[in-house]
């Protein structure tokens, strides 16, 4: 069954902005990286279903990315006229009612108005491409609010990480291990670049000490019990005292399953952070939360955030991705009760955890380095 996806910066009627997990109608609407037009991405549970018309000659026939929705994904680029004609034809063939068709076309028109023109003039690495709600923070204005989120580099790999105090950074424990040799990095191997965007960071610091949760064993990292311990605290060599960087406070998950936000770096977007808003918490398993967020290599360690009175709090750290019943989900470890254990370690001047281990390697970054990222987990 095909559905209509409305990016978070699109508007429809009087109902306000629709979050990236709100579904309406029968067709998916998102930006196509290969051209300035919008793309209609259609996937189907039935191979017999008719696809939408092919691309016009002015637009490349296929986009160079695929949403992680299985082998039945089509990515076709359309001009505004093609979008409306294709929707009208497609919804008529599907027998969709006039009211639903009106809402669908109306939503597409507003997508064109709000996102179609400006991207044409931007470099490809600054276009706000959306894949399942993921949006690039490629400009200074867009990235300013999230400058505490940065990239953690080891020299051979990278993860995402978050400044939670002037001298403390939160990330995933498996980011501290070499993906091939199974050797734990030394603290001096790690560099945290806060607010990194297109080669420039708001602040760069080396790491003094690394703290892991007792019992974490990287070589068992794909077990659900280890994912629940996949949390690390880094102490920086020098505090970050920069007026443009405000550490993001931490908080508890609470009982309510309100939507969350993830800010991360990742494969093919390591030059700047990206944001996905309104992710759903799908399930709970001890200290592990299953989320609807999109993740990629390099996303490990990224903060899972909840807005409290308009201000973000880190409530979890991204650890892995999984395939559940054919749908890709992400797995995060919550901070509740566990961050205090890491802080206690710091006070006692001790570092606990395994001294070796391995992670599942899942890709190469554009710069040719290995990327430690959210791993494929088969629950």
Q: What is the pLDDT of residues 332-376, one digit of tens each?
A: 999 998 999 999 998 886 443 333 322 332 222 334 444 455 554
Q: Kindly list the distances between the CA atom of residue 155 and the CA atoms of 167, 178, 187, 210, in Å, as whole numbers in the listed order.
A: 21, 10, 12, 17
Report, as ranges of residue numbers, the positions in the chain whose pLDDT lies below 50: 1-132, 350-371, 376-379
Cα separation, 217 vs 213, in Å, equals 10
Nearest to 341 by CA among 213, 165, 176, 209: 213
241-254 pLDDT, tens per residue? 988 899 999 998 87
Q: What is the CATH number of domain 141-377?
A: 2.40.10.10
pLDDT value of position 243: 87
Cα 67 to chain centroid, rounded: 13
What backbone phi and psi angles, to 5 degrees, belong to 112? -65, -45
pLDDT value of position 198: 85
pLDDT value of position 245: 94
CATH 2.40.10.10 in the chain, residues?
141-377
In contact, 374 and 330? CB cutoff 8 Å: yes
In contact, 326 and 68? CB cutoff 8 Å: no
């Amino acid at each position: 069954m095909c559905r209509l996806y409305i990016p978070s910066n699109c508007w429809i009627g009087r109902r306000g902005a629709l979050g990236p997990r709100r579904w309406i109608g029968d067709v998916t609407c998102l930006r196509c990286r290969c051209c300035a037009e919008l793309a209609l991405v259609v996937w189907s549970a039935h191979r017999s279903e008719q696809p939408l018309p092919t691309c016009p000659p002015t637009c490349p026939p296929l986009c160079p990315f695929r949403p992680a929705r299985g082998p039945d994904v089509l990515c076709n680029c359309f001009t505004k006229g093609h979008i409306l004609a294709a929707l009208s034809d497609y919804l008529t063939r599907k027998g969709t009612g006039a009211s639903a068709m009106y809402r669908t076309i109306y939503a597409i028109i507003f997508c064109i108005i709000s996102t179609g023109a400006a991207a044409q003039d931007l470099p490809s690495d600054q276009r706000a491409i959306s894949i399942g709600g993921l949006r690039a923070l490629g400009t200074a204005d867009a990235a300013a609010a999230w400058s505490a989120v940065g990239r953690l580099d080891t020299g051979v790999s990278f993860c995402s990480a978050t400044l939670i105090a002037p001298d403390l950074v939160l990330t995933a424990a498996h980011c501290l291990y070499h993906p091939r040799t199974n050797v734990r990095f030394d603290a001096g191997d790690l560099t945290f670049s806060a607010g990194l965007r297109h080669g420039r960071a708001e602040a760069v610091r080396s790491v003094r000490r690394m703290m892991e949760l007792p019992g974490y064993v990287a070589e068992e990292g794909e077990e659900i019990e280890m994912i629940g311990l996949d949390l690390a605290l880094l102490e920086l060599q020098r505090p970050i005292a920069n007026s443009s960087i405000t550490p993001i406070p931490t908080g508890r998950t609470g009982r309510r399953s309100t939507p969350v936000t993830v800010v991360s770096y990742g494969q093919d977007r390591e030059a700047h952070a990206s944001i996905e808003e309104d992710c759903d918490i799908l399930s709970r398993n001890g200290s592990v939360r299953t989320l609807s967020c999109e993740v990629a290599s390099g996303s490990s360690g990224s903060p899972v955030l909840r807005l409290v009175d308009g201000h973000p709090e880190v409530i979890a750290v991204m650890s892995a991705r999984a395939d559940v019943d054919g749908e890709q989900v992400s797995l995060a470890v919550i901070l509740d009760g566990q961050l205090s254990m890491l802080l206690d370690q710091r006070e006692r001047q001790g570092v606990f955890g395994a001294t070796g281990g391995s992670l599942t390697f899942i890709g190469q970054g554009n710069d040719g380095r290995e990327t430690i990222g959210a791993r494929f987990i088969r629950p």
